[in-house]
Chains A and B, each alone.
Chain A
Amino acid sequence: MISGRKLLVAALLATVSFAASSAIAQNAKPLKIGLLLSLSGPAASFGIPERDAAELIVAGLNSQGGVDGRKVELAIYDDTTNPTEAARGATKLIREDGVVAIVGASTGSGTLAAAPIAAREKIPMLAPNATISVTARESQSYPYVFRTMSNDLVNTKQLYEAAIAGGAKKVAIFYQEDAYGKDSATYVKKLAEERGAPIVDMASAPLKSIEVAAQAVKLRGSSPDAVIMQVTAPALGGAFVRAAKQVGLDVPIWGSMGLGQKSFIESSGAAGNGVRLVVFGNWDDPSPRQAKLADVMKAGGKSPQGFAELISTNGLLAIVEAARKIKGDITGPALRDELEKLCKVTTYSDGELCYSKDDHDGWSTDALTTVEIRDGAFKRVQ
């Protein structure tokens, strides 16, 4: 039987600890994070899953007591896939909503427009873009911009390395005629020359081409061991894969990250079997860590669509991780300093996040996975 005295002590202790904990909760201001994403317009296919994943992660964090007793609050702004709106959104999120960090924008051009404003207000931006110029060292905004995925150079290099890993000596390139296709094709050409195994042939087509058999015949003429496709449009990628099959260009085909979508598999048809891609995330056959995010999404009633979920949560978790290290007030400059010190942080993506003073890219080849199309799905290649 519990004595009256013991009961009193217990009650007293309980009261004191309750008072103490509520005092912490009252002192701790919420951690306000802005989401500057494209929820409408052409990039909405990225922006919407980016937002959905961020909201579910925040709900999970808050249900476990938030970040060191602080609740996490999201302020969301739709930039309508318009860089001008992205710039306006950055101002609104910082000035009116009082956010201490921003995840966004969904497009590289949106980030480039908003970053100077964020940098002027000393608010870090976590950019879910592969566009090289987003973290250009010479930019005025550089100190405040951090990338949440591997950049185009890393992705392209890994694609080339993976393509020649099987022993391919003669590599040919097919690329789409736009800035991305041309730049990455030129980069692979340079890498190949450095390796002493120059690219044997190149062919290209406008983004809207419906028929590329001639290009496939041209590449076949130089009898390559492998073909790299620098293409982001699923229809064009599919057209090339089918054309290659038709003209008898029977060599391994490697595609860039942008083709990691269901519609590419559909558009390639039977010819797509065996085509390999280097991707940032793969929901058909997720790695254990990605599977955890898929579970979080499913518990929230959403199904993951692409790598968008991974790159927005990468940004969010980096902010949270940096905020945990701050003892006093959480401000933009304090977060920036801590972000620059973050290293060996794991999220739902493969690989590790590691920022430094000279590296705001953070993500490297260990975040990338090689997948192969088999029976209408992307399967991981071990």
Chain B
Amino acid sequence: MYELLEFSSRGVLLGVTYGLLAFPISLLFIATDTVDLAVGAYAVLAGAVAMFVGGSVNPAVGILTGILVGVLASAAIGSISLMLGRRQKGDPLVLVLASFGFAIFLESVVLTLFGKDPFIRQPFTYFWNIGGIRISPQAGVNVVVGLLLIAAVYVLLYRTSWGRDVRASANNERAALLAGIPVRALRFSAFMLAGLLAGIAGVLVLYTSGMDFASGMHLTLAGFGAAIVFGLHGPLRGFFGGLAIGVVETISAGYANGGLASLVPLLFIFLVLTLGRGGRQGPAGVRA
């Protein structure tokens, strides 16, 4: 029983990372009705830059530069989205494919600039002992940042005019345009915000478990799984989806054998999607 408690709490801590990666994915889905598959690549880019700039200048400058580079990378895909929107009349699938290509491009960039070795930073050499469970203080940092971001994203989407406009233009683009909402500018700003969130997630992954140049797709899929499991329409659901997947993953790694342990989380997502109501109700932009 005690062991189960340890697996669950470690699962929650792992899930925080997934939840952080789910933020940008569901935010973009709400704002633009598409999925950006390069989110994990922004995170890796931000992490790699934070590692190298942090190593040669100082960690704080590294973290800020890393996040900034993440924002710039997603601004690039935001510009591509605007260009495509003009030509393709907004077929969301085109952007999904474009972002996939961009993710591969970023992976090569990271490999060329920063090499094939893993990126990791570990400032904490001691552990907290909470009820007999040893936990790195970094996990505490992740939880605090995760909760702050939940609050910030919630306020931004549901308590500001920016958020209202974003939800309105995702819900009905034509109506939003007629109402004088600058849909294109809003979409672009949503990409920048997604890049910011992915960059923060990337820096936290760098400081928690580390990554290498090829981790991008793994991170995207982890975040995507978290984002869809309880419905793509709300970033808050994405965060809790991340926690749920984290818990299922650690419990299955603890009790199931071998390859089965990696299968269970996917099975869980599949079951929730087929049996549950998540993701079915309402158009984009409904309440979280």
B-binding residues in A (CB < 8 A): 45, 177, 182, 202-206, 208, 210-215, 217-218, 221, 234-235, 238-239, 242, 246-248, 262-263, 266-267, 269-270
Contacts and interface: CB of A to CB of B under 8 A. Distances in A.
Contact of B258 (A204, A211, A248, A270): A204
Contact of A214 (B10, B116, B118, B214): B10
Contacts of B258: 177, 182, 202, 204
Contacts of A218: 253-255
Interface stretch (B72-80, B85-93, B205-213, B225-233): B205-213
Interface of B: 3, 6-7, 10-11, 14, 17, 116-118, 120, 122, 125, 127, 134-136, 205, 208-212, 214-215, 218-219, 249-251, 253-255, 257-259, 261-262
A208 B258 CA distance: 15
A267 B14 CA distance: 19
A262 B175 CA distance: 58
B120 A214 contact: no
Contacts, number: 90
A202 B14 CA distance: 21
B116 to A, nearest CB: 7
A284 B255 CA distance: 40
A213 B135 CA distance: 10
Nearest to A248: B134
Contacts of A239: 209-210
Contacts of B122: 242, 269-270
Given A205-B262, A246-B127, A266-B120, A214 B11 contact: yes
B120 A238 contact: yes
Given A234-B117, A238-B210, A263-B117, A210 B10 contact: no
B134 A247 contact: yes
Which residue of A204, A214, A221 has the most chain B CB atoms within 10 A of its CB atom? A214
Nearest to A242: B122
Contacts of B215: 208, 210
B106 to A, nearest CB: 17
Given A214-B10, A270-B125, A246 B134 contact: yes
Which residue of B17, B118, B212 has the most chain A CB atoms within 10 A of its CB atom? B118
A214 B9 CA distance: 10
Nearest to A210: B209
Nearest to B133: A247
B218 A211 contact: no
Contacts of B218: 208, 210
Contacts of A267: 117-118, 120, 210
Contacts of B212: 235
